[in-house]
Structure 1
Amino acid sequence: MPTDELPNWLPAWCLDHLGGEPAGVLFRTQQASMVFGLRLADGRDVVVKARADAGRALSCVAAQARMAEQGFACARPLTPVVGVGALAVHAEEYRRGGEVLHGNSPDIAVRCAKVYARLTAELAGMTVAPPLPNPPWVRWDHTDAGVWPAIDFLDNLDQGVVPEHVVQTAEQARRRLLAAGLPCVLGHADFEAQNLRWQGRQVWAVHDWDSLVWQPEAALVGAASGSFASDGPPTLAPVESSEAFLVAYQDIRRRLFTAVELEIAWAASLWMAAYNAREMALCGGAPAGADALRVQAAERLRQANA
């Protein structure tokens, strides 16, 4: 896109906080956040992220900065979070390169689990304010009416298009999650193939640090064990691959989950898959996630004791 199609506030923001205005646009994406890949007038390539924020961004960017300082594979923030009207904005380095790892086999699950174990271990040593409220796809502990967290743009759509098995699975998984009473930790809740880049067998970059959350460790690992293979429309990994992920994570962290923690891990994998399947149904997206959920729900619910 031409630079004259950028938001009006962005060139001046770059000049004030990065010392140069955009001379070119490398890419632009928009989901929960607006993300701009920019080439500045002095030749530097940077990424600027802007999102509506309820106070989460400060903690997310602080944790990302510390992870980068510790040598973890992630982009280094270049600015603090700055308010621009209702938006929270920051810039980070453009970590170019790497490939998406495709597939959902147990072998790939183990490779991803190794990264997630290191990520979670390093986050455990940080003290930042909990990044609340949690993103809705892991906000099973909401206090809104009904099974889903309230989101106007979804709630105002025709709920009749959501398969009944998706709703029932979410209800059962949520009951199990709420009954656990486990302590919360800082973790990454969007650990999907599309958010990771690899160079050979080494992870090169983990993206989407806006998705840091405050939930029980076992639940976060369980969610990741179900979502790690998603590349594009969200889906659910095979049961045997999720199991390989959970086993590898515990081996690398050198601590075994209790029986309750394992149940919570399986329940969280279901909640996240059900949330995504509902959103896809409401927005006319791919049904693959709902189909996988239908096939796997009984076994995952059994593992969750739900």
Structure 2
Amino acid sequence: MDELPGWLPGWCLEHLGGEPAEVLFRRESTSVVFGLRLTDGTEVVVKSRPEDGRAESCVTAQARLAERGFPCALPLTPVVGVGSLAVHAEEFRPGGEMLRGESTEIAARYAEVFARLMDELATVTVEPPLPNPRWSRWDHTDPGLWPSLDFLDALDQSRVPAYVTETAVRVRKRLLAADLPCVLGHADFEAHNLGWHGVEVWAVHDWDSLAWQPEAALAGAASGAFMSGGPPLLAPIEGSEVFLAAYQDFRGRAFAVAELEVAWAASLWAAAHNARWEALHGTAPLSLDTLRAQASERLRRANAVL
């Protein structure tokens, strides 16, 4: 309780009707997330992140899906500005196990959830949540290959292997050449962001990570990332292949050749971003190793030439 930010108790009292009595959990990534039990016993989640113009659209879309019965937490407040932060509260939706494994059945189950999610988002109208999340921001307009991120750009870029940079160059060139309409989609569709009760999905989390990109790019990124249950991990090529095929089946629409190429290209962008991160920070080379092993075949399927 002593580590809660000073604004939080008063915010909870004003917007939720009670102050925090107990901290259930605290997590920090691009957002800071508090699980709280209030003085009246209500359990809630409060999320804060730097205000960058994205939060209101993301929370609105999440609310629309939750109201329709999609398995995600229902927002309890709108987005509220607190200094430089965008803050909202949502219901606490605990439980659910992470679904792990490399079988075709598991890949298809993830694809089915993503297809259902995309079906629902297709009927939601919000302002595009731009800029897109940093790990999926291949469509940036900043100078250079990577989106401008001071905390990464200040590090020694010579540590990034040439194959990572070449992969990112080829992927971005192919993605930017696509003439496809943008839609709303989830750009962090990783195993740790889903909870399951057996074979039924119980909760999809991290709605801060909605993006505005072509459907094929969003599905392709999900096909590469869906197995990540901790540190980011690129799925096996066979898993991505099953995911993409199942996704098209569940959506009832086959991708055109160009869309499939875009999907395969997008499956590599986040992996290249994560590999760059590992190289710059000297962490375990998980994405570095899988990118080295898979880039050539994924680039071939993407028709991503230099």
Classify the TM-score, shorter chain. Answer: over 0.9
| Residue deviations 1:89-119 (CA, integer Å, cap 9, x gap) | 0000000100011123322111100000000
| Alignment of structure 1 residues 207-222 onto 2, 5 Å | 207-222=205-220
Matched, 1:16 2:14: yes
Instruction: Find 2:70's aligned residue among 60, 69, 72.
Output: 72
Shift of 1:280: 2.1
Match in the other structure for 2:221: 223
- Residue identity (%): 69
Distance in 1 of aligned mates of 2:224 and 2:62: 23
Match in the other structure for 1:168: 166
Distance in 1 of aligned mates of 2:88 and 2:40: 19
Distance in 2 of aligned mates of 1:109 and 1:281: 29
Match in the other structure for 1:304: 302
TM-score (norm 1): 0.98
| Alignment of structure 1 residues 106-255 onto 2, 5 Å | 106-255=104-253
Distance in 1 of aligned mates of 2:231 and 2:164: 16
Paired amino acid for 1:178: L
Distance in 1 of aligned mates of 2:268 and 2:64: 31
Paired amino acid for 2:186: H
Match in the other structure for 2:56: 58
What SS is found at the alignment partner of 2:299? Answer: helix
The 1:119/1:275 distance shift into structure 2, 3 A limit, reads same
Match in the other structure for 1:102: 100
Paired amino acid for 1:131: P
Paired amino acid for 1:108: I
Shift of 1:71: 0.3
Unaligned ranges ≥5, structure 2: none
Matched, 1:93 2:85: no
| Residue deviations 1:148-203 (CA, integer Å, cap 9, x gap) | 00000000011122121111101000000000121000000000001000000000
Unaligned ranges ≥5, structure 1: none
Distance in 1 of aligned mates of 2:80 and 2:71: 24
Match in the other structure for 2:255: 257
**Dislocated runs of 4+, deviation >3 Å:** none
Distance in 2 of aligned mates of 1:173 and 1:238: 18
Shift of 1:224: 0.2
